[in-house]
A and B are shown apart, each in its own frame.
Chain A
């Protein structure tokens, strides 16, 4: 797999915390139920969205098609000079 472990674990843990642990910490108020559901759903939706974006780019089957100007700019700004 072309996936880096660190972001995968990191984000899963992050959203897992929000969706799994935080609901227990909601103070007792008449709105407790709503807040818990909202937290869980937010965590689920956001994590899923991020995961799909990540996995889609993991093993790219094609690359971007860029015109010459773009390539030159990329080469200059992102640190790999054009060889001759």
Chain B
């Protein structure tokens, strides 16, 4: 896992697998997870690929599983998860069995759900009917009461019987409450006032099972005259989606009906409950398997996708695939191959390493601790193959820079506790797969947060800040020596370092006598830090790219060190390192206790003025006080001139060094390979054919190789050699279209060597000199201005730390002090509680979260230098 210095060494491999074993082998390889397959069938449509039916089957299974999952979650059943994931090593029979299982489960669930729905709808209808009957009773009772008949039964029977026999039709039904008014009006209009309408609201709402919502309904009774009217009435009811129920005419019958409905409803409820219970049980049993199935299906799908990437060879017995593997992992891959093909296979699969000029992918092996940092660095851009990996240093520099901006022991402790909590629930989160965007972000960075907290604790100690209060651990180095009368007379006094300073500084951190941070000193400190960090970056980037032995560009990169890196370093040092040196000198040389006035406190020269004058090539004449030396030491102006001269000399070196060297090398090599005429002639033709810039950073698979192919054909001499290269490398299996594949399959190393050379040379020649020059100018300007701007941007470290301190002081002073300073009995207690709560709330939200995030952001920006 360890080597994060640079990305892993990768090789391109060909995989030959016999068709019968293909599925198993790929499943084993998938479990190991160390290969990246290349799609050999890119030009095929999806439906033309070999294993399209199987992939289709997987999609169907996934769809079914999704449905099942939604049903399970709706019923609020917990899905059983286990930390182990199943292997998808299945025989074709087993796959079919799995497919059947899933299908059965889905069908069963659908059936049960539908049943439940049907039953519930039926019960709804029954309850509506019951309501209708009950209300009808009431209608008639009321009517009788109005007319004052003594025998209610008799009258109601008569009433309805009269209706029934005398060509009057009536219907009863239920309609939604919000529609009843419209219903009545339409009825009135339609029947021209000749219909008899009575309605009554149902008090409790009824559940509509299709939508799951409760609705208010109204019972109505309509009488009308004649068949045609009746038909129109029916149509109207249909339009308003009223449910109709036939109400029996006699009272006894109604009563009997109500009783039977009641009984039916009770039975129905039992049945519904049982159905529900059964459904739940079934869902529960399915839920046990659900995760297992989901993982299996996903693995099967992945296996078939991978198989689709591979090609079938001409005999039809073997599958061939291309993949990138890390050199370190080859034994593990071979082991997986052996595992996958254990049984009765005649030919065993094998891995064959191929030499290629292509740029392999960047692969950084990370474990759970380093993953967060690698991700962070990748945000800026993924490093090219075998480039030095900044993530290694970022593990420490990132938290450190953050801490410099955040230094406060109190807040740091809160951060540490939070990070430790996240780490503690690590396992649980992985298992339960708790998802939530913001939580995931914090969780992924838990180790980073821990480190940031620890470093902040340290810097907090040095800044002497704990929730913005300083500590006095080691004894302050300042003491007070005033008379009472002096104090009485002055509002504030400045402590004179000559008198009141004990002579040696506070041992660890800022002396508690200072209330506030000393801003300039911290700013300087940050600049020094930034300087050293950027030097490290440059040194490593150039260093490793140069001595890289894998992808060796034809022109040796060693010249880069002398022509680029060293001038850059010198530029940086002569200007900014000099400023740093001056700062250190000032700290050491000038003090209050020094007897020589020249080196006393009053005479300390301003470094800023000195530096500006140095850049403007001007002598500093104005000293702090008359009689003082404007410079730090004798001969300083001369030293500064020399430094400036050296710095100025580096610029032409950076500008012209590399292009001139490249020019020289080309001429040199053209002479060496004895093709001077062609070389010079070539330069002209190839310039015209330039097809985009190809540098080592771009993947030259398409453009670069096509370029090379065209140039190959155009070349007079050496054509025989190169075409001879291409022909034997066309093995039967691979599509003969892409020439870069041909080159990469090429078995003979020596032939490969010469064609490489030509290819690389053509690539180089294809960049015209003008282009190189322009690039170099841009590079130089970018670097020179960059040094100034990046150095200045480190001042944000100081700015943010100051802001943080001020904010926390404000919170303390205004909130907590006010709250706790109150000494009054009961009320004071309440106030203290409230003020502490407010203070804690603001501290956590503003200072820790907001400041933390902003410091994080700025640190990220600094790392992107």
Contact = CB atoms under 8 A, between A and B. Distances in A.
Contact of A49 (B525, B588, B601): B525
A27 interface: no
Interface string B568-587: 00000000000000001001
A75 B476 CA distance: 12
Nearest to A57: B505
B216 interface: no
A55 B508 contact: no
Contact of A83 (B484, B504, B525, B590): B484
Given A31-B2, A63-B494, A37 B478 contact: no
A4 B4 CA distance: 41
Interface string A52-72: 111111111111111110111
Interface in A19-53: 29-34, 37-38, 41-42, 45-46, 48-50, 52-53
B576 to A, nearest CB: 16
A30 B505 CA distance: 44
Give the interface residue-count category, chain B. Answer: 35 or more
B480 A61 contact: no
B459 interface: yes
Contacts of A65: 492-495
A52 B591 CA distance: 16
B487 A71 contact: yes
Nearest to A84: B484
A3 B532 CA distance: 25
A1 B404 contact: no
Interface in B486-508: 487, 490-497, 500-501, 503-508
B3 interface: yes
B525 A62 contact: no
Contacts of B496: 63
B258 to A, nearest CB: 80
Contacts of A80: 479-481
B369 to A, nearest CB: 8
Contacts of A59: 587-588, 590-593
B396 A61 contact: no
Contacts of A1: 588, 591
Question: Which of A34, A55, A66 has most B Cβ within 10 Å?
Answer: A34
Interface size class of A (residues with CB under 8 A): 35 or more
Contacts of A64: 478, 494-495, 513-515
B518 interface: yes
Contact of B508 (A30, A38, A50, A71): A50
A71 B400 contact: no
A17 interface: no
B264 to A, nearest CB: 73
A74 B490 CA distance: 16
A81 B788 CA distance: 51
Contact of B370 (A34, A50, A83): A34
A82 to B, nearest CB: 5
B1 interface: yes
Given A30-B2, A67-B492, A83-B484, A54 B505 contact: yes
A62 B476 CA distance: 16
Contacts of B477: 57
Given A63-B494, A66-B492, A55 B483 contact: no
Contacts of A57: 477, 505-506, 510-511
Contacts, number: 168
Given A2-B505, A45-B400, A61 B590 contact: yes
B487 A68 contact: yes
B616 interface: no
A54 B1 CA distance: 39
B480 A75 contact: yes
Nearest to B396: A41
B350 interface: no
Contacts of A31: 1-2, 367, 369
Given A53-B525, A67-B492, A78-B476, A60 B504 contact: no
Contacts of B397: 41, 45
B392 A56 contact: no
Nearest to A83: B483
B482 interface: yes
B480 A60 contact: no
Contact of A58 (B2, B479, B487, B505): B505
B856 interface: no
A26 B481 CA distance: 52
B529 A48 contact: yes
B376 interface: no
Contacts of A46: 400, 458
Contacts of B532: 48
A67 B491 contact: yes
B609 to A, nearest CB: 15
A61 B497 contact: yes
A78 B506 CA distance: 14
Contacts of A66: 492-495, 513, 515
Nearest to B599: A59
Contacts of B2: 29-34
A53 B463 CA distance: 8
A3 B513 contact: no
Contact of A55 (B475, B490, B584): B584
A20 to B, nearest CB: 16
B590 A2 contact: no
Nearest to A61: B601
B601 A62 contact: yes
Given A66-B493, A82-B487, A61 B592 contact: yes
Contacts of B420: none
A71 B396 contact: no
A44 to B, nearest CB: 8
A3 B504 contact: yes
Contacts of B584: 55
B400 to A, nearest CB: 5
A60 B497 contact: yes
Top 8 A-B pairs, shortest CB-CB distance: A59-B591, A63-B495, A4-B504, A56-B521, A52-B525, A41-B396, A57-B505, A67-B492
21 contacts: A1-B591, A3-B504, A30-B2, A34-B2, A34-B395, A38-B395, A38-B396, A48-B532, A52-B521, A52-B524, A52-B528, A53-B462, A53-B509, A54-B505, A55-B588, A57-B477, A60-B592, A64-B478, A71-B487, A78-B476, A84-B485
Interface of A: 1-4, 7, 29-34, 37-38, 41-42, 45-46, 48-50, 52-68, 70-72, 74-75, 78, 80, 82-84
